[in-house]
Structure 1
Amino acid sequence: MLPAPGTHVVRAFEPPPQPWSAGHRGVDLAVVPGGPVVAPQAGVVAFAGDVAGRGVVTVRHDDGLTSSLEPVRPSVAVGTRVARGAGVGVVDAAGHCAPVTCLHWGVRTAPTRYVDPLSLVGPAGPVVLLPG
């Protein structure tokens, strides 16, 4: 499930060649300031606060993955159990996609090992082949 309902990707995941190299360790989703942010999977809130002047919510999911979402004004506290699709906050305007507003969603399997968040979403619906 996408952490922002009714959105689309404005910047894709770009894995770095090495953990210390430049890259884009998540996806940026088009959103509006004040829009809802939801847990993409069930889990426990591991962090809810500011990092470098931006609000961040981090959820440790039941499958061992960790999602971080920013910029978010959190509505949950650390230790809160959240269901898939449960609200965790609202989009803050202080993001890195200016002049548009985006929600950055990063997913990691370990402290420095990131995976493409869209690989967790699955297809949008059934694929139908039409006669040509």
Structure 2
Amino acid sequence: MNAQRFTALLPFLPSLPMLSMLSLLTVATVAWAVPQPAPGARALPGPTVPAVGRAWPVGTRPAVVRGWEPPASPYARGHRGIDLSAPPGAAVRAVAAGRVSFAGRVAGRGVVSVELSATGVPPLRTTYEPVRASVRKGDEVAPGAVVGTVEPTGSHCARTCLHWGLLSGRTYLDPLSLLPPWLRRSGPSRLLPVLGVPLP
């Protein structure tokens, strides 16, 4: 509530019941104290994500069945991670070095979570589900280390997939941002010709 709107309500305050008047004044005071964003202002960006990933969680370049769709607010609808195509029993790998912070079941699904090394405080945390864990809480894992296998049930995809998430504290981030551009590229690597050297 800005100053003009509040001033416009002043003539009506004496006619309001005392409880309503107090409620209105409380709301006006809180609204006055909270800084309002400038017109056209954008939300502040989330934490910076270092490209520490050295492996895909499954396969070498899996198809992204559903991408990251950040919610507008903490409780709004969205997709807090990405879904990667993966058959049941496929090996699930740690994308970067870290320590297993959770390996167990949540709402009937197997979940593995890894706190990534050297990613600040709080450390970035990756999650993988549905996964039959082959690691325990506290285990240290290297990039590409197998942490479990894709479970045949518990996926929210039409076909079996791996849900891969990334968090900083309680803030969800795009897990693909962990991977450097060279690892995200699809297709085989190609060698460029050296200038001045004729082709064989």
Q: Distance in 2 between matches of 1:120 and 1:48?
A: 21
Q: Which amino acid is the alignment partner of residue 93 of structure 2?
A: V
Higher normalized helix content (fraction of residues)? 2
Q: Which of 130, 147, 150 is the aligned partner of 1:91?
A: 150
Q: Distance in 2 between matches of 1:109 and 1:2?
A: 19
Higher normalized strand content (fraction of residues)? 1
CA RMSD of aligned residues (A): 1.4
* Residue 88 (structure 2) pairs with residue 28 (structure 1): no
Q: Distance in 2 between matches of 1:2 and 1:110?
A: 22
Task: Name the residue aligned to 1:57.
Answer: 112
Shift of 1:122: 2.1
Task: Name the residue aligned to 2:63.
Answer: 8
Shift of 1:85: 0.5
Consecutive unaligned residues of structure 2, counting only runs of 5 or more, are 1-54, 190-200
Q: Distance in 1 between matches of 2:136 and 2:176?
A: 26
Tell me the TM-score normalised to structure 1 length: 0.90
Q: How many pairs align? A: 125
* Residue 128 (structure 2) pairs with residue 69 (structure 1): yes
Task: Name the residue aligned to 1:45.
Answer: 100
- Which of the pair has the greater relative contact order for Cα pairs under 8 Å at 6+ separation? 1
Q: Distance in 1 between matches of 2:98 and 2:173?
A: 18
Q: Which of 81, 87, 92 is the aligned partner of 2:140?
A: 81
Provide, for residues 66-123 of structure 1, a one-character-per-residue CA deviation record: whole Å limited to 9, x for no partner. 001000000001000000100000000111113x110000100112x01100111122
Provide, for residues 7-55 of structure 1, a one-character-per-residue CA deviation record: whole Å limited to 9, x for no partner. 1100000000001111100000000000000001110000001000000
Consecutive unaligned residues of structure 1, counting only runs of 5 or more, are 127-132
